[in-house]
Amino acid sequence: MRRYRLSITVAVAFLFVVSRAWSVEVRQAQYRFILPDGRTDVGEIVPAVVAFRAAFDGMFAFEGSAETHPCTVRVLENRQEFDRYLSSRIGETREQYVFLKYSRPDLSELILYPTPGKTGYAAFAGPSLNRQLFLQYLYSFVLEPPLWLRDGFQAWAERLSWNAKEGKVDIAWYSPWLESAKARRENENERLSVEALLSATTGSYESARMYPQSWAFVAFLTLTDNPGYRRFLHETFALLEGAGRYNAESQQGNTDLVKKRFLRHASYETAERDFGEWLMSQETYSDIVQKGVAEYNAGNHLEAEKKLSQAIEIRPDDPVIPYYLGLVSYATGRYDAARVWYERAITFGADIAAANWALALNALAAKDHASARAYLETARTTNPERYGERAERYLRSLPR
């Protein structure tokens, strides 16, 4: 039985097998890492990559996961070496990490370089790494996968993150591609039907249309309660795996094969309705924030806090959210918590006058008159037109 494994613990142990003056080769699991000599910190990429591989295996469960050829990950010393290496291979460079794919998978390799000013795994972390690691994994088994599956699971992989402290890969519950997918679904000129997604091959549609809607289709297949769609996804993986360890069929051949299998589980008309209803029922970040603010304005503080807490998980640096969480804490008498939230809002760029006015009212409620005076002075001086007169009235009433 195929199962999803979204949190995978990995033992951190690997063997240095070759050493040169300029590079070190490391073998771990299905990978061959070529690392710059003298940069011992970049070795932290090794357990992370292996953990990502386990996450991909947990989703796809390809039987040939122990393929005979290793996946090569080449880490270059810096961006200049990255540009030089790519230019020697493909005659040009790229702005992000690159998976160089060849018809022989044993010749393919993922090319990385550490971000300046960062060390260890943090020097590589981000959506670009996730996407390229996934492409390397998928192309290790399938020469030409269906476009919707390739693009959709690239976006799915973006939500994965390496938790070095616990030695596992986590997956975020929210994808930033939701907003784009819903916007295109609502636009008849931008919408791609289920049949169109299943039929698409390279060049069929612009990436700006195909990528977010492929993500949405993959999310639907992995998260729906309908067992028929989930079974189709599992069968797709089995079909693409083929009889051997490597599927060398054309993209059109694999696309037609998978598309034909889909109709065993649902008609296009039924799938279009189910997919559309599921997608439009998903709350975007803006939806979550608006509901949180609306619940606060309605006096439903518990519901407001739930929604705003969801929002801050998605965008922890948005100053609007901690400001409103401060308002909720203030309204429920948690003055210390309110002060922390307001200060966090200021850190991320909230309006100084408005946040200090809120801090002043909070300090007054907590009977911290000294702090209240300081906050009132700041609110008054930074926006005298709005807060000058009101702040002056409070200041006159405070004990010296």
Instruction: List, in order of start, the domains of the chain with CATH numbers.
Output: 15-141 (3.40.30.160), 177-281 (no CATH), 285-397 (1.25.40.10)
In the chain, which ranges are E strands?
A: 15-19, 23-28, 31-36, 71-75, 98-100, 109-112, 160-163, 168-171
- The tally of CA atoms less than 13 A away on the side-chain side of residue 386 is 12
Q: Say whether pLDDT at 133 is over 70.
A: yes
Mean pLDDT of 200-207: 97
> For residue 328, what are its two tokens?
């909720």
Q: Say whether pLDDT at 16 is over 60.
A: no
Predicted structure pTM score: 0.88
**Averaged pLDDT score across all residues of the chain:** 92
Range in 216-230, 240-254, 266-280, 377-391 with the lowest mean pLDDT: 240-254
**Residue 68 pLDDT:** 60
Mean pLDDT of 359-369: 97
Spatial CA neighbour of 83 closest among 117, 111, 108: 111
User: Rounded to an integer, what distance in angstroms lies between the CA atom of residue 46 and that of residue 110?
Assistant: 13
**Residue 380 pLDDT:** 97
**Residue 356 pLDDT:** 98
> What is the three-class DSSP state of 33?
strand
Number of continuous H segments (helices) and E segments (strands) in the chain: 17, 8
Instruction: Read off φ and ψ for residue 237, nearest 5 degrees.
Output: -60, -40
User: Rounded to an integer, what distance in angstroms lies between the CA atom of residue 274 and that of residue 282?
Assistant: 13
**Residue 243 pLDDT:** 67
Spatial CA neighbour of 64 closest among 142, 133, 4: 142
**Residue 67 pLDDT:** 58
Q: Is the pLDDT higher at 61 or at 382?
A: 382
Beta strands 168-171; 160-163: pairing state: antiparallel
